[in-house]
């Protein structure tokens, strides 16, 4: 809880300090232009990498695999996109770091190693591993075929 409080206090202070410092060196309009440029570039990179991650996930689903890695990368991309749209250079740096595939994959693997999805341990970066357990054998039937109507009971009499 203390870490979140520090992040929500220190990051805006660092952003303001950096924006004021850059604004003093470059001027107000170039600084605003630089912030808008980083947002524009970030959104375009985000769109490209988001579609790439989506297609990899769809391909894994079509192969019958759990796309856990791609889902984690999608979450990282969404957070990176939000940071890139937030005005400031510190958030842009963290957002751009999330767009670098090796960094994003490493963070996704670290996240997945701590998660359990629907009872399946996803600690493996290559996808989900089945947990060993009991195998239950059973039979099924269509109950509608075995229902007796009142007319059937009358015919027996």
pLDDT digits (tens, 9 = 90+) for 123-142: 555 444 445 666 777 776 66
**Other C-beta atoms lying within 10 Å of the C-beta of residue 4:** 8
pLDDT at 96 over 70: yes
**Residue 118 to residues 28, 128, 129, Cα–Cα distance (Å):** 51, 10, 12
Residue 128 has a pLDDT of 46
User: How far is Cα 22 from Cα 121, in angstroms, rounded to an integer?
Assistant: 46
User: How far is Cα 35 from Cα 91, in angstroms, rounded to an integer?
Assistant: 11
Residues β-bridged to residue 116: 121
Residues β-bridged to residue 117: 120
Average pLDDT of the chain, as a whole number? 82
Give residue limits of the domains in the chain: 38-127
* Residue % of the chain over a pLDDT of 90: 45
pLDDT at 146 over 70: no
Q: Which of 10, 128, 121 is nearest to 70 (CA)?
A: 128
DSSP, collapsed to helix, strand or coil, labels residue 67 as: coil
Residue 135 has a pLDDT of 72
Distance from the first to the final alpha carbon of the chain? 76
CB 67 within 8 A of CB 60: yes
User: Over the range 132-144, which residues count as b (16 or more CB within 10 Å of their CB) and which as e?
Assistant: eeeeeeeeeeeee
Residue 25 has a pLDDT of 94
């Amino acid at each position: 809880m203390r870490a979140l409080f520090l992040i929500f206090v220190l990051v805006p202070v660092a952003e303001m300090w950096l924006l004021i410092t850059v604004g003093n060196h470059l001027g107000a309009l170039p600084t605003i232009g630089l912030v808008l440029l980083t947002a524009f570039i970030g959104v375009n990179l985000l769109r490209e990498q988001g579609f790439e991650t989506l297609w990899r996930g769809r391909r894994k689903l079509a192969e019958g695999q759990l796309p856990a890695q791609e889902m984690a990368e999608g979450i990282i991309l969404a957070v990176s996109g939000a940071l890139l749209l937030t005005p400031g250079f510190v958030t842009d740096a963290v957002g751009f770091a999330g767009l670098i595939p090796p960094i994003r994959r490493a963070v996704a693997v670290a996240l997945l190693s701590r998660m359990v999805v629907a009872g399946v341990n996803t600690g493996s970066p290559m996808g989900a591993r089945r947990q060993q357990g009991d195998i239950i054998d059973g039979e099924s039937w269509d109950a509608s075929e075995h229902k007796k109507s009142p007319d059937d009971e009358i015919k027996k009499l």
